Structure 1
Amino acid sequence: MEVPMIARRSSWTGGGVQERLRRLNLITTVPPLVIVGLLLLFLTARSWWHVVIQVVGLVAALATAERWTAGDYLRVARPSLVVTAVVWLAGALTDDTAAFFGLSVVGSYLIPPLPRHRLAALGGLAALIAALGATNALVHDDRIGWRLFQFAAVPAFAMLFSTAFMFASQRFFDLIAELEQSREREAELAVTRERVRFAGDLHDIQGHTLHVVKLKVALAEKLLDREPDRAREELREVHSLVGDTIVQTKELAYAQRRLNLSAELENAKNLFEAAGIHVRVERESEVDDAASELLGQVLRETTTNILRHAEARQVRITLTRRGIAIVNDGAPDTGPLELSGLAVLRHRLAGHGAELEVSHSDGRFRTAAAFPAPKEARR
């Protein structure tokens, strides 16, 4: 027997979540870094040495960004921090004002994920960038104030700005990851719900059938010596019932099974009469087609419970347009008021806006299900 298609879906959900997030991160981080890095290169590089310095810093920054999108950046970011620091020192000593770009990018990736002391790390990195940039003033003795502003203050501020942007970017991607995880959990929950529904339907079919088979086989055994023809008839019915159950189980596996209330009603009458229980059916009106299938499930579950748990002599089934009520005598005074099968049905009916009520009084057990009237009918 094949498992319903939705039951296999759990192996598909979640597998591409991390890859989708990685692609999104790559698209939103790497191209802007390349554009800004190349723009600085064209605008500020005044010699081939400046080109080499900035390209090395940009490559280190891009390597860190690429590994960050994969969630494995620390082993790349730490050596990249050293490389870009050397690049910025070389740039400061050769008047390359844009060489700090790689160091500011790598630093901005390292600080936000820290579990604590992020402000201290941010201040230390800003001081490092300022200190390395201040070496420019050591090799030039003109315009000291301007050089300190250009090579120390501006790069430090740029690093603070890029780190603040990374804080916001990381929060954004965290929200996207939470959303993807939430969608994955919802898909898994849907699979679980479908499995529970499938298990409930399988219980309805096979649990009911097995109990009926047990009753009919016991009856055939009693009739075997004194009424062999009737015993053979009971065994033929058992054979037919098992065949029908196999068909229903296949239909359930392929999501093609629908209960027919009329057929369930006729089946319930036959079962009760075979067990020596008098059954009376009262139809107050024709049952609405929209409620027929679920009401058929209620009747089937209740019939099984009566045959299994009660010593009933009489059963009364009342049908209304959008409801059903089954009352039986012979209910035991002890034991749970609501059996597990009815609890599952209550939940299933609630999902369709219907209510299931059970009550026990004076040896009588009442099971009733009702759908609310359509809005048009209540106006």
Structure 2
Amino acid sequence: MTSSSPAFTKTTQSRLRRLNLVMSLPPVVFASVVLLAVDVHTWWHLIVLAPGAVAALVAFERWTADDLARVARPCLIVAAVVWPLGVLLTGSPNAYWGFCAVGSLALRQVPRRRALAAAGIFAYVATVGATRLLVQQDDVRGVLISYVLVPTALTIAVTVLTVVGERFYDLIRELDHAREREAELAVIRERVRFASDLHDIQGHTLHVVKLKIALAQKLVLRDAEQAEKELRETYALVSDTITQTKELAYAQRRLNLSAEIENAKNLFEAAGIRVRVTREAEVGPRNSELLGQVLRETTTNILRHAQATQVQITLSESGIAIVNDGVRGDALPELKGLSVLRQRVAGEGGELTVEQQDGRFLTAASFPPFRADVPSGGQRKDDR
């Protein structure tokens, strides 16, 4: 469960699909029904005109699923046939609707010369509409208005709106990809900080060890006692470095909770996630370090594994709670970092809770009242 590009993009497209269906499909269905009701005067009119409306609905539904390429050509052919049949056989000035809808959507499938393809659609609608003059020569003005000008103008309008809509959804996709990249950068910055801490621990130590060993080599024959002292100090220094490295690897180095809260807030905001920090009380140094580790690990998990849009961090007298949305799936994910921290929190007499429900994820670490380092009744403060 990661925020890698394929899964992330797939979920975004699914949201856009639902948005398109909810916002646009009902008007399209309503328009198709109304136009059929206006133009159908007998049963065989329905047989002639219905395929055009069905082609428009199928094309639109597949467009919302980003799968229009598979059905664009057959839908366009069906709708293109219905328009002249409607003009010449049923006298239906609205039979262009299917071709108008499918054609405007299918333009996205044209890789080059899209403007020329759009001009072809408009010309086809106008030319076919003008053929009505073959069967209705007594009302040239009415034919030109009802079968040529109105259908062509509406086809142009629908095409323009469709192109604008496509640009809008392209912008949403670009913003979503930008948010994904920000989240990945936040994780990378966290890794860089870890590497910097590791360098601080080992870089200086290794340099000192090198100097002490070189000194011991010079003293081993002249001053064995001093050489032995240097080696003892080197051994102690290496042992201390090993301990610090283990602590760093398991996020056990001393942390400042306030600094971790500010860092988490900055990381979330950089990733486009709204964050709210509520301080109900201040936590003393005995528990703050461990709570800082919980917050750091949870922040990394949210950035890497969730599609959060908002995060709530609540700091209380007994512990910390972090709630985020954007959880995918119903199964509780396996988060090894939190599993290690659960053992440490339990070892200190506390409890680490991880829950997932209704698309929200809760991570909370708490300690019994007698473990609290700050008296109750702290002043409540919100940081936004």
Q: TM-score, normalised by structure 1?
A: 0.57
Give CA-to-partner distance per residue, 1:195-254, whole Å, 9 cap, x none: 222222211112122222223333444454566565555444444433332332233334
CA pair 168-238 structure 1, distance change in 2 beyond 3 A: same
Give distance in 2, aligned partners of 1:34 and 1:209: 73
Is 1:60 equivalent to 2:55 in the alignment? yes
Counterpart selection for 2:194 from 192, 198, 207? 198
Give CA-to-partner distance per residue, 1:62-117, whole Å, 9 cap, x none: 33333434445345323322210101122222123332111001121233665664
Structure 1, unaligned stretches of length 5 or more? 261-288, 290-379
Contact 1:61 1:103 (C-alpha < 8 Å) held by counterparts: yes
Residue type matched to 2:146 in 1?
Q
**Count of aligned residue pairs for this structure pair:** 255
Farther off after superposition, 205-214 or 226-235: 226-235
The equivalent of 2:125 in structure 1 is 129
CA pair 14-218 structure 1, distance change in 2 beyond 3 A: farther
Give CA-to-partner distance per residue, 1:150-179, whole Å, 9 cap, x none: 122211111011011112112211221221
CA pair 251-63 structure 1, distance change in 2 beyond 3 A: farther
Give distance in 2, aligned partners of 1:219 and 1:211: 13
Residue type matched to 1:83 in 2?
V
The equivalent of 1:109 in structure 2 is 105
Secondary structure (helix, strand or coil) at the match of 2:71 reads helix
Give 1:26 deviation, angstroms.
4.1
Secondary structure (helix, strand or coil) at the match of 1:30 reads helix
Counterpart selection for 1:78 from 73, 77, 84? 73
Greater C-alpha Rg: 1
- Equivalences for residues 1-379 of structure 1 within 5 A: 16-92=11-87, 93-111=89-107, 114=110, 117-224=113-220, 231-258=227-254
Residue type matched to 1:16 in 2?
T
CA pair 15-225 structure 1, distance change in 2 beyond 3 A: farther
Give distance in 2, aligned partners of 1:191 and 1:152: 59
Contact 2:56 2:99 (C-alpha < 8 Å) held by counterparts: yes
Farther off after superposition, 103-112 or 114-123: 114-123
Give distance in 2, aligned partners of 1:14 and 1:223: 65
Give distance in 1, aligned partners of 2:100 and 2:117: 13
Give distance in 1, aligned partners of 2:167 and 2:210: 62
CA pair 105-232 structure 1, distance change in 2 beyond 3 A: same
Residue type matched to 1:139 in 2?
V
Contact 2:126 2:149 (C-alpha < 8 Å) held by counterparts: yes
Farther off after superposition, 213-222 or 228-237: 228-237
Give distance in 1, aligned partners of 2:155 and 2:135: 24
Give distance in 1, aligned partners of 2:61 and 2:233: 70
Give distance in 2, aligned partners of 1:173 and 1:98: 29
Give distance in 2, aligned partners of 1:253 and 1:23: 43
Give distance in 2, aligned partners of 1:14 and 1:245: 43
Give distance in 1, aligned partners of 2:11 and 2:238: 44
RMSD: 3.3
